[in-house]
Amino acid sequence: MLSRLDDYPVHQAPVPLLGPATSDRNVYDRYWMNGFDRDGEFYFAFGLARYQHRGIQDAAFSVVIDGRQYALHASGRAPAEPTDTAVGSMRLEITEPMQSMRLLVSPNEAGIEGELVYTARTANVEEARQTMRRDGRVIMDATRFTQWGRWSGSLRVDGRELEIDPARVLGTKDRSWGVRPVGEPDAGGAPSAEQPQIFFLWAPLHWDDHCTHLGLFEDAQGGRWHQGGAVLPAYDSLDELPGVEDPATRRARTVDYEVDYIPGTRRAAAARLLLDMGDGERREITLEPLLTFRMKGLGYLHPEWGQGVWKGEQAEAGESWAVDDIDELALENIHVQQVVRARCGSSSGVGVLEQLAIGLHAPSGFTDFFGGAE
């Protein structure tokens, strides 16, 4: 089946681009973006994904403000044209590839609506390919690139108008594609001989004239099967961007971290990051959380609106909850991003720390599936 993308000289095989290179039913192609006030007054995030072999396209938009999180979820049959990036009340428009995007949220029952424009502040950083196996089977095999930017526009949440000022509202764009566990789990066969486990940290940070990144996965013993870090220049205008990637980007040789957990949770009270640049420079960064966002607002681990789940030809719903009125260790609440104040020497920055810790993780002292820190 042909699509508009087939008119571009980007083919890597003698087949139309609409056909993924794998027959795995969990193949996906996803946009993910966040935005936050510099002082942690509010945070919003958006995700949209196409699951070609499941025949589904879904999206979600979620906001935290004044101690409450609001979420809008939408799902439907994937359109025949993959450049049709709209689901329900939400539409994403690529105004300039790798530089700017426009997000439209029309009035809906969740009480969230607005028009937001994302403008890049940096070039893009391709993260190393992430491949994870369970019971000898590849369950995740994905590529991701990350970019830092600003937001402008207007946003209304539950009748409240938020000023989205690009001088104050920063954010991150995350594009990933490949295979990962989504939708309903596979049925049949012997039960897994391995207990589910994942430990993930991801920390894109904004500074005055540059941005930094750290991302890693570890197994139950703390063995690191993926890690990466980078320092890259930030620019004041799109005209200054050197291209899709920046030759001035510096990759860290190694990265490391320490997390001080809130007792009884798997969420950071504080954290320290280390980027060893391999040339004698070691960047030590401390993080102070300001606001917490539950990733279930975008469908991650959501018991009803999980990603890639068939909800019918077209479905949409809103929900909200008090930030402090949740079970911290319920599976749906463990995956979080926190807006953080960052400090490195005399410099101050802002960004997010994403955490997902399911199952055992010896370095954190997690000795059972759901237990929190002591």
Degrees (nearest 5) of the Cα angle 26, 31, 37?
Answer: 140
Residues in Cβ contact with 305 at an 8 Å cutoff, skipping those fewer than 6 apart: 60, 73, 75, 299, 311, 317
pLDDT at residue 1, as a whole number: 81
Give the closest residue to 248 by CA, choosing from 236, 235, 238, 267. Answer: 235
Residue 207 — φ and ψ, nearest 5°? Answer: -125, 180
pTM of this prediction? 0.96
Both tokens of 238, joined, read 């799109």
Average pLDDT over residues 68-90: 97
Check whether 81 has a pLDDT greater than 90: yes
pLDDT confidence band for 222 (50 / 70 / 90): very high
Check whether 163 has a pLDDT greater than 90: yes
Amino acid (1-letter code) at residue 60: A
Check whether 187 has a pLDDT greater than 90: no
Check whether 19 has a pLDDT greater than 90: no
Check whether 194 has a pLDDT greater than 90: no
Average pLDDT over residues 121-125: 98
pLDDT confidence band for 353 (50 / 70 / 90): very high
Residue 370 — φ and ψ, nearest 5°? Answer: -115, -5
Residues in Cβ contact with 240 at an 8 Å cutoff, skipping those fewer than 6 apart: none
Q: Where are the domains of the chain?
A: 4-183+196-364
Residues in Cβ contact with 154 at an 8 Å cutoff, skipping those fewer than 6 apart: 114, 115, 116, 161, 162, 163, 164
Average pLDDT over residues 105-113: 96
Distance from C-alpha of 282 to C-alpha of 292, rounded to nearest angstrom: 28
In CATH, what is the architecture of 4-183+196-364? Answer: Beta Barrel (2.40)
Check whether 191 has a pLDDT greater than 90: no
Across the chain, mean pLDDT equals 96
pLDDT confidence band for 188 (50 / 70 / 90): confident
pLDDT at residue 10, as a whole number: 85
Both tokens of 118, joined, read 């994302």
pLDDT confidence band for 186 (50 / 70 / 90): confident
61 and 90 Cβ atoms separated by less than 8 Å:
yes
